[in-house]
Structure 1
Amino acid sequence: MKHTYPISGMTCQGCRSHVEKALNTVEGAVATVNLEKAEATIEMEHHIPTEVFEKALKASGGNYHIGQSPQPMLAKPKPVAIQGALYYCPMHCEGDKTYDKPGSCPVCGMDLVAQAGSTEDENSTYQKLLFKLKIAIAFTLPIFIISMTDMIPGNSLFQWATMTTWNWVELVLSIPVVFYATWMFFERAWQSLISRHFNMFTLIGIGAGAAWLFSMIALFFPSIFPHQFHSHHGTVYVYFEAATVILTLVLLGQVLEARAHGKTNAAIRELLKLVPNEATLLRDGKEMIVSIDQIQKLDLIRVKPGEKIPVDGHIQEGHASIDESMISGEPIPVDKQVGDIVRAGSINGNTSFVLQTDKVGAETLLAQIIDLVHQASSSKAPIQKMADTISSYFVPAVVLSSLLTFIAWALLADENAYTFAFVNAIAVLIIACPCALGLATPMSVMVGVGKGAQNGILIKNAEALEKLAEVNVVIIDKTGTVTEGKPSLEKMLVSSEEIIEKDVWQKILSLNILSEHPLAKASVVFAKNLGISPVQVNQFEAILGKGVLGQIAGKTYAIGNQKLMEERGINIPVDLFKQVLAEQKQGKTISYFADEKEAQVALVISDKIKESSQQAILDLQSEGLQVIMLTGDNQETADLVGKKLGLDAWKAQMLPQSKLDEIVRLQAEGKKVAMAGDGINDAPALSQADIGIAMGTGTDVAIESAEITLIKGDLRDIAKARKLSQMVIRNIKENLFFALGYNVLGIPIAAGVLYPFFGMLLSPMLAALAMSFSSVSVISNSLRLRGKAL
C-alpha cells in the first residue's frame, strides 16, 4: 500500500533529505519526500501507525512533524498551464520549491523566475530592472566623470568648486544608485552571509559596501585618517565612483539575464495556440459554437475543412486527411476513416467529419506535450556561474585577510594603531573587489552572441554557450533536421522504354495541380522545374486517401496509390511492380500514373536527406561526439537513413514522450545531451536536453523551446556553435583572471606589507588604477573574439 502524509518544518533541500532518511529508518517503509508539496509518499506492506514515523523524526533531531491523516495516492490529471504565477530559484537551491510572489532566493539571492505557463507577465521583472539600470547609469556617469577628471592636470572643475564640494556631490549622486537601483544586491549579500552560500553578490556587497562606507567616513571624519591617506587637495580619497560603477555593471548583467528569462513562456504560448478556443458541438441534431471548456467526453464535434482538432477522439462519421506533424514530425498527412483516432492540435484537410470525444482538457495528448515542456524547462537547473564559484572561495579569503590585517596593525602599530588597523582592513575589502567581475561574463557573452548571429547561429543565453562545450551526445530528429522536411519527387519509374516522359509529365502536372495533397504538390514542383505547362482537365475528382481522377482530351487518367489502382481494375506491369517493391523497401512513397487500363509510370516520393547532413555528422563524430537519431517515422526509413549517414544509433516510431524518456535515460548515465529538432513533437525533448537546438526552418514552438537556433537549418552549424562555445568559455576564464589579477596583487599592499620597509600604504590612485586596468583588460580581451574564425 502507498500513502501520502503532510510534513511540517521543512525549509530547504537539506531538510527534505534529513526527513527522508529518518522515515526510511522505519522497518518495512520506503519513503520519498517532496519539498515543494511538503509531503512524504510512503510505501509499506502493512499499515504502520503515524506515531512510529513521528518517533523516527523526533529521534533524528530537528523540528519536523508528520500529519495524522494519510491520504491514498490518487492519480490526478495534470493541468495544461499553471493558474496564477509561481516562481522558483533558477539555481534550484531548495530543490523544486516554489513561491507565490516574485523576489529573490533566500539561499543564493538570485531573482526568482516565473514558471513556464504562468499567467504573470514574464517581462515585468525585465522592465523593472531596465528602469533601475537607466537610473543607475544616469547617476553613475556624472560620478565617474567627476572622479576621472581629478587625474587631469589643470582640471576646470576645481575652478568652480573645491575637491571637498565635489566629493559631497558624488555622495548625493550615489544615494539613488546604492539605496534604490542596486539595493537588492546588498539584500542578497546579507542573505548569502546568513545562509553561508557565498556567491558573486557576497563579494559585490562587501566590496561596494566597504568602498561606500569608507568614503562616507572619509567625507565626514577626514581627521581620523593618517596623513598617508590624504590627497594633495587635503581631502581623503573617496571611492563613490568605484562603488557605483561596480553596482551598475552588475545590474547590467542582471538585466541581460532577465531578458533571457523573459522568453521562457514563449514555447508554452505557441503550443496553446494549437488548441482552438471554440468548437462546433452537435447536440439534438443541431450545430452550435461552444467554448472549448464546455466540451465533455462522448460529445460529438464537427470538424470542418482546415480547422484544428479541439480534443482527442475518434471519427464517428466521414473521413479525413489529417496533418499530424505535431505528434509524429512527419510532413505527409495521414488518411483517417471511421473509428480512427484523431488528436487535439492536429489539422484537418479539405473534408468535414464528425468525431466523438474521448479525452478533454489536461487528458489530451497535446496537453501532455505542454506539460512535458513545462516540467522539462522548470526542472532544468542551470550550472553555477564561474563568478559565484570563485566568490565561494574568494569571499572567505578576503574577509580573513581583512581581519588579519586589522589584528596585525592593532597589535604591531605604535601610533594610531586602531586607526591604521581599521583603515587598512577596509582598504583590503576595497581593493579585493574587482569592478570588472560584473563585466567579465556578460562582455564575452555579448561578443560571442553577436559572433554567432553573424554566422547564422542565434543563442538565447549565456548558459547555452557554457553548456554546449560540455556536450558529448547529440540527438537529432529526422524530418526537417536531417532531411528537407517535405515530400519531394525523387524519380520516375517507367513500365516501358516507349513511354514519352514529357507527355506523361504534362498529364501528371495537369491533374495534380488541381489537388491540395502534399504528394501531388511534390510532382507539380518537379514538373514545373522541367518547363512543363498544364493542359485542360475535365471531370476532376479527388478520392481521399487514394488519389485523383480526370479526363484529358477525352481520356480518363488516374494518379494514386495501389488501392486506387485495384479499385479501378488497373493493371500494374510486373517489371514496374518489381521496381516499386525495391523502392518501398527503402521507405519511399509510391504514386502510380495510369490510363484506363494500365499503370504507365510510378512516381518515387521521399523526404530528401539534406546535402549538408552527411558532413555535419562526420564533423561531430570527429570531435568524439555520439550522434543518435530519434524519429517518429517507420523502422525501414529510419534504418535506411541511419545506415546511409553512419549514425552511432537510431530509434524509430518515437512519440514526444519517448524522445524525452530517451534523453532522461542518457542524462541518468551522466551524458551531456544536445537535442536538434524542428517540430512541435520535438519541443519536450528540446526542453529536457542540456542544450536544445532548433532548426530555423522549423516550427515556432521548437524555436522557443530551444536555447540555440540554427537560422539556415544546417546541421554543420552545430559544430560551429560548439567551437564558439569553447572560445567564449575560454575567453570568460581569461576575463576572470584579468578581473581578479590586478586586485589580488593589490591585497598585500592594501594590508600594509610594504609599510615597514618603505613607509608605503595603499595609494588610492593605485586602487583606482587597478580597477581601471582590470576593466580595460576585460573589454579588450572580449573584443578579440570578433576576429576569431569558426
Structure 2
Amino acid sequence: MIHTYRISGMTCDGCRSKVEKTLNTIDGVKATVTLDPPTATVISDKHIPIFQLQKELYAAGKYVISESDAVETISRTKDVPVAKSCCGTKSNNELISLPSSASGKYYCPMFCEGEKVYDKAGDCPVCGMDLVKAPDLLVSKSSYTCPMHPEIVQDGPGSCPICGMDLVPMQPSDNEENKTYIDLLRKLKIAIAFSLPVFIISMLEMVPNNPLHQIMETQNWNWVQFILTLPVVFYAGWIFFIRAWKSILTWNLNMFTLIGIGTGIAFLFSIVGLLFPEYFPEEFKQHGSVSLYFEATAVILTLVLLGQVMEAKAHSQTSGAIKALLQLAPTEATIVIDGKDKIMAIHDIKKGDLLRVKPGEKIPVDGKITNGESTIDESMISGEPIPVDKTVDDTVIAGTINGNKSFVMIAEKIGSETVLSQIVQMVNDASRSRAPIQKLADSIAKYFVPIVVIISVITFIVWANFGPEPALVYGFINAVAVLIIACPCALGLATPMSVMVGVGKGAQSGVLIKNAEALENMNKVNVLITDKTGTITEGKPSVEKVFSSNDNELELLQAIASLNQYSEHPLAEAVVKYAKSKNVSLIEVKDFEAISGKGVIGTVVDKKVALGNKKLMEQVGASVSEELETKIVAEQKLGKTVSYISIDKIAVGFVSISDAIKSTSEAAIKELMNQGVEVIMITGDNENTAKAVADKLHLTSFIANCLPEDKLAAIKRMQAEGKVVAMAGDGINDAPALAQANIGIAMGTGTDVAIESAKITLVKGDLQGIVKAIKLSHAVMGNIKQNLFFAFIYNVLGITVASGMLYPFFGILLSPMIAAVAMSFSSVSVIMNSLRLRSFRL
C-alpha cells in the first residue's frame, strides 16, 4: 500500500530528516519525506493506523501527521497534488483532519493554524475564536481519589478510608463545552447586573422632569454610568477587545474587529466627553453636558455576550452525534478465565480474550461468537431497526446491544481498531473538514471587514456633512451601528455547522462520510457504478452443484476444494464449505497461484488443476467441449455464477454457485434511477449471469467479464464524457476503481483496502445506504445554501438600514443596541437552521 500524508511542524531539512528517520523505525514502514510540499509517502505491506504514526512523531518532536485530500491506495497512477496553506489557513478543498493524538485537546474551529492543537482552553491567537475541545475518542471509566490522600484510588465514589472525606473524580465530570457555556453565562449575568442600571439611567434622561435630577446633577450621573460600565468592559466583555486586538495585529479581521472598534470608539468618546466636555461642539451636548454612550457600550457588549452564550449552547448540540456514539461503548466487560467470570475494565481487554456477553448488555469489543447464539440490536451502528440473528462464527460489533440470550465471544479488535472507534474518528475528521462551497464564504469574508470599516467611515462623513442637525451625532451613531451589525461570523459558520450536523446524522444512519467534499460531490452524482458480488448480491455464495463429465464428482470436488483452501475469495470459501459438508478431506497443493479477476491454479496429486472463468481457461490453454459449454451457458442464464474446472489443460466440469440478490437492492436501484442516476453494473462475472441479474433489476446497463483494470478504464471513460461517477464496491480488486471515482463508496462488510480507498462507507453494506447518502447530500447542500442566503441577505439589509440609507425615504434609523441584537441573532439563526438537519429523515 502507498499512502500520502501531510506533515505539519517541519521548518528545515533537519526536521524533514528527523521525521523520515522516525517513520522508518516503525515495523513494516518505508517512508520518504519532503519539505516542500511537507508530505510523507509511506509504503507498507499492511495498513498502519495513522494513530501509530502520530504517536511516534509526537515523541520525536511534536510533528503532526494528517491525511492528505489526495491519497491513493495500492498504487499511484499520477502525481498527487498536495494543497498548500498560506498563513496557516487551509485551502478550501483540503481535508482538515485532527489526528487521534489530538483527542481531548483544543483547536480553533476555523482551523486558522491547520491541525495545531493546544493543551489548555483559550482564544485562537490568529482569529480570536474560543478554542474547542476535540472529543475524547476513548471512553474511560472515572476513577475517584481523596483530595487529602492521593494514594487512595478506587473505581466508584465513596469515602476515604484514612480521613473519611468524600472521594472526588480524578477526571472532570463536566465536558469542556459545558464549562465554556457556564463561564460565558456567569459573565453574562454580571454584565446584565451592571448594564441594566446604566441603561435605566440613560433612558430616564429622555423623560421630562427626570426624577434622578432631584438626587444628583447630570454630570454626577454620568460618572455613575462610567463606574458601572467598567466591569462590563474590563471583565465581562474584555474578551471581545482582546480578540479584536489580535485580529488587527494578525490582520485576520473578523466579527470581533468590528465589535471592538465600534464599542471601543463609543467608550473612549464617552470618557473624553466626561472629562473634557469643553472641547465638544454644542450639538453633542444636552442639558449642558456631552451626550455620552456608556449605555450603548455596556448594552452592546452584553447583547454580544448573550449571542455568544446562545451560540455556545447551540454549538454543543452540533457534536451530539459524536457524543452519542461515544456513549455506546461500555466501560466494563466480563472476561472468562479458566471457566470463571471476572469483571474487567474495557481498556484492559487483549486480543484473544474470551468474553461473556449477558442478555441486554452492550458488546464490549469487536469479535466473533465462539459459543452460543443471540439476537443483536445493531441499529446504533447500521441505522437499521431490525435485530440480527447471530450464531457461532458470526461477527459482533462493539457498542451493539445483545438480546435475551447469553453467549461467549473472542476479542479480535480492541481500542481504536474497533468499528465504533473508527466510526467516531471518521465522523470527527469529517465534521471538521471543509466543503468546496466554503470557498465562496471565505473569499467574501476576507474582504468583508475592511469594506465594512470603509462604509462606516463614509457613513459618518455623509451624515456629518449632509444630515439633519445634530449632524455629527447622527453620523457618529450610524457609523457605530454599521460596525456593530455587520457580522462575518454568520458567513463563517454557514458551511461547517451544516457539515458537522449532516455528517453526524449520516453516521447515526450507517453512512460514514470521510470528508465534506465527498458530501458535497454526492449531490452531483449522475452515474453509479456498482459491483455485483457483495454489493448487489448478499456476498454469501453457496455451491449448488459440482458437475463432472467423468462421473467422479467427489474426486473433482476434493481437487478444487484443496486448491481453494489457500484463497480468501468468497467463491473459494463457498467451495471449501461445500466440500466439508460432503465430508471431503483436503489434500496438499503445490504451486498455488491466484490470478486476479480470473481464478486459481495449482498442482494437486501431480495434476495441474485450474478453477475459474473462461479467461482462465484460455490462459492455461484448456480445451472446452461443446457439450460442456452448453451446460455451462444454461446455468449462467439462470443467474448462476459458473467456474470452469480443468485438469491438465482439459475442461472436465464446472461448479455452479448461487448468490442471492439482496432484498433491498431492487428498491434502492429503482429509487436511484427515479432520481436521474444511471445505475451500471460492472462485474467480473460472465455475460449470461450478469445479464440475468441486470434484467431482474432493470439496470441501465451492465459490463461483464471485467478485470480490475477494466473497471478503472470504464470509470475514466465516463469521467471524460463529463459524468460525475460514484463507484460502489467491497473487494480488494475494487480499490483502484474506488480511488478513481469522483465518489468511492465502500461496503462496510468488505475489505479494509476497499474501505480505505473510498470516500463514503456504508456500515451495513447495502445499496439503500447510497440512497441515504444522496438524500443526506441534498439536504446538507440545501441547508448550506439557506445559511449562506441568511448571512448574505442579513448583512446587505443590515448595513443598508444601519448606515441610514432608508432615512430619506422612510425615516428609518437603527440604534447600535438594536444592531447588536440583530448581529447576535444572525449567527444563532445559522446554527439553529443547521440543527434542523438532526430531525431530517433518511
TM-score where L is the length of structure 1: 0.53
Q: Where does residue 717 of structure 1 map in the other structure?
A: 769
Aligned mate of 1:468, from 516, 519, 522: 522
How do residues 388-407 of structure 1 correspond to structure 2 at under 5 angstroms?
388=442, 401-402=455-456, 404-407=458-461
Q: Where does residue 669 of structure 1 map in the other structure?
A: 721
Residue by residue over 1:12-68, the C-alpha shift from the partner in whole angstroms, topping out at 9 and shown as x without a partner, is: xxxxxxxxxxxxxxxxxxxxxxxxxxxxxxxxxxxxxxxxxxxxxxxxxxxxxxxxx
The 1:668–1:236 alpha-carbon spacing in structure 2 relative to 1, beyond 3 Å, is same
How do residues 191-590 of structure 1 correspond to structure 2 at under 5 angstroms?
205=253, 207-223=255-271, 230=292, 233=295, 237=299, 239=301, 242=304, 382-383=436-437, 385=439, 387-388=441-442, 401-402=455-456, 404-413=458-467, 417=471, 420-421=474-475, 423-433=477-487, 435-485=489-539, 488-491=542-545, 512=561, 516-518=565-567, 521-526=573-578, 534=583, 540-542=587-589, 544=592, 578-580=630-632, 582-583=634-635, 588-590=641-643
Q: Give, in whole Å, the separation in 2 of the partners of 1:448 and 1:695.
A: 20
Residue by residue over 1:638-663, the C-alpha shift from the partner in whole angstroms, topping out at 9 and shown as x without a partner, is: 55544454332334565666544543
Does structure 2 retain, via aligned residues, the 8 Å contact 1:218–1:236?
A: no
The 1:584–1:665 alpha-carbon spacing in structure 2 relative to 1, beyond 3 Å, is closer
Letter matched to residue 222 of structure 1:
S
Does structure 2 retain, via aligned residues, the 8 Å contact 1:481–1:695?
A: yes
1:711 CA displacement = 0.9
Does structure 1 retain, via aligned residues, the 8 Å contact 2:715–2:737?
A: yes
Corresponding residue SS for 2:524? coil
Aligned mate of 1:736, from 785, 788, 792: 788
What residue ranges of structure 2 are gaps of 5+ in the alignment? 1-29, 40-66, 71-78, 108-112, 124-128, 132-178, 199-223, 274-283, 323-433, 593-599, 618-623
1:681 CA displacement = 4.2
1:167 CA displacement = 0.4
Q: Give, in whole Å, the separation in 2 of the partners of 1:102 and 1:634.
A: 49
The 1:629–1:130 alpha-carbon spacing in structure 2 relative to 1, beyond 3 Å, is farther
What residue ranges of structure 1 are gaps of 5+ in the alignment? 1-78, 190-204, 261-379, 551-557, 566-571
Aligned mate of 2:228, from 162, 168, 171: 162
The 1:650–1:247 alpha-carbon spacing in structure 2 relative to 1, beyond 3 Å, is farther
1:604 CA displacement = 1.0
The 1:218–1:396 alpha-carbon spacing in structure 2 relative to 1, beyond 3 Å, is closer
How do residues 90-129 of structure 1 correspond to structure 2 at under 5 angstroms?
103-104=86-87, 110=91, 127-129=115-117
The 1:684–1:403 alpha-carbon spacing in structure 2 relative to 1, beyond 3 Å, is farther
Q: Give, in whole Å, the separation in 1 of the partners of 2:561 and 2:261.
A: 80
Does structure 2 retain, via aligned residues, the 8 Å contact 1:506–1:534?
A: no
Q: Where does residue 74 of structure 1 map in the other structure?
A: none
Does structure 1 retain, via aligned residues, the 8 Å contact 2:479–2:803?
A: yes
The 1:740–1:384 alpha-carbon spacing in structure 2 relative to 1, beyond 3 Å, is closer
Q: Give, in whole Å, the separation in 2 of the partners of 1:655 and 1:590.
A: 16
Corresponding residue SS for 2:764? coil
1:766 CA displacement = 1.4
Whether 1:708 and 2:760 are equivalent positions in the alignment is: yes
Does structure 1 retain, via aligned residues, the 8 Å contact 2:501–2:835?
A: yes
Q: Give, in whole Å, the separation in 2 of the partners of 1:688 and 1:511.
A: 35
Does structure 1 retain, via aligned residues, the 8 Å contact 2:745–2:762?
A: yes
Q: Which moved more, 1:519-528 or 1:615-624?
A: 519-528
TM-score where L is the length of structure 2: 0.51
The 1:521–1:481 alpha-carbon spacing in structure 2 relative to 1, beyond 3 Å, is closer
Q: Give, in whole Å, the separation in 2 of the partners of 1:152 and 1:244.
A: 13
Corresponding residue SS for 1:469? helix
1:471 CA displacement = 1.6
Letter matched to residue 220 of structure 1:
L
Whether 1:146 and 2:184 are equivalent positions in the alignment is: no
The 1:160–1:768 alpha-carbon spacing in structure 2 relative to 1, beyond 3 Å, is closer
Residue by residue over 1:692-746, the C-alpha shift from the partner in whole angstroms, topping out at 9 and shown as x without a partner, is: 2221122333323322111111112111211111122222233334445555443
Letter matched to residue 503 of structure 2:
V
1:388 CA displacement = 4.2
Does structure 1 retain, via aligned residues, the 8 Å contact 2:521–2:742?
A: yes
Q: Where does residue 8 of structure 1 map in the other structure?
A: none
Whether 1:773 and 2:821 are equivalent positions in the alignment is: no
Does structure 2 retain, via aligned residues, the 8 Å contact 1:488–1:605?
A: yes
Letter matched to residue 146 of structure 1:
K
Q: Give, in whole Å, the separation in 2 of the partners of 1:111 and 1:443.
A: 16
Does structure 1 retain, via aligned residues, the 8 Å contact 2:243–2:256?
A: no
Q: Give, in whole Å, the separation in 1 of the partners of 2:711 and 2:508.
A: 32
Q: Give, in whole Å, the separation in 2 of the partners of 1:514 and 1:661.
A: 31
Whether 1:86 and 2:139 are equivalent positions in the alignment is: no
The 1:520–1:660 alpha-carbon spacing in structure 2 relative to 1, beyond 3 Å, is closer
Does structure 1 retain, via aligned residues, the 8 Å contact 2:730–2:750?
A: yes
Q: Give, in whole Å, the separation in 2 of the partners of 1:602 and 1:109.
A: 57
The 1:472–1:411 alpha-carbon spacing in structure 2 relative to 1, beyond 3 Å, is same
Q: Give, in whole Å, the separation in 2 of the partners of 1:740 and 1:417.
A: 30
Letter matched to residue 588 of structure 1:
T
Corresponding residue SS for 1:650? strand
The 1:475–1:514 alpha-carbon spacing in structure 2 relative to 1, beyond 3 Å, is closer
Residue by residue over 1:202-245, the C-alpha shift from the partner in whole angstroms, topping out at 9 and shown as x without a partner, is: xxx25432221223333333256868985675856554984997
Q: Give, in whole Å, the separation in 2 of the partners of 1:634 and 1:162.
A: 84
Does structure 2 retain, via aligned residues, the 8 Å contact 1:457–1:708?
A: yes
Q: Give, in whole Å, the separation in 2 of the partners of 1:154 and 1:172.
A: 14
Letter matched to residue 270 of structure 2:
P
Letter matched to residue 534 of structure 1:
N
How do residues 598-637 of structure 1 correspond to structure 2 at under 5 angstroms?
603-605=655-657, 609-631=661-683
Corresponding residue SS for 2:726? strand
How do residues 152-191 of structure 1 correspond to structure 2 at under 5 angstroms?
162-170=228-236, 172-174=238-240, 177-178=243-244, 187=251
Q: Give, in whole Å, the separation in 2 of the partners of 1:249 and 1:472.
A: 38
Does structure 1 retain, via aligned residues, the 8 Å contact 2:192–2:302?
A: no
Letter matched to residue 773 of structure 2:
A
Corresponding residue SS for 2:749? coil
Q: Give, in whole Å, the separation in 2 of the partners of 1:485 and 1:666.
A: 27
Q: Give, in whole Å, the separation in 1 of the partners of 2:541 and 2:196.
A: 73
Does structure 2 retain, via aligned residues, the 8 Å contact 1:178–1:244?
A: no
1:83 CA displacement = 3.5
Corresponding residue SS for 1:704? helix
Residue by residue over 1:371-397, the C-alpha shift from the partner in whole angstroms, topping out at 9 and shown as x without a partner, is: xxxxxxxxx994554534775997798
Does structure 2 retain, via aligned residues, the 8 Å contact 1:473–1:627?
A: yes
Q: Give, in whole Å, the separation in 2 of the partners of 1:666 and 1:507.
A: 43
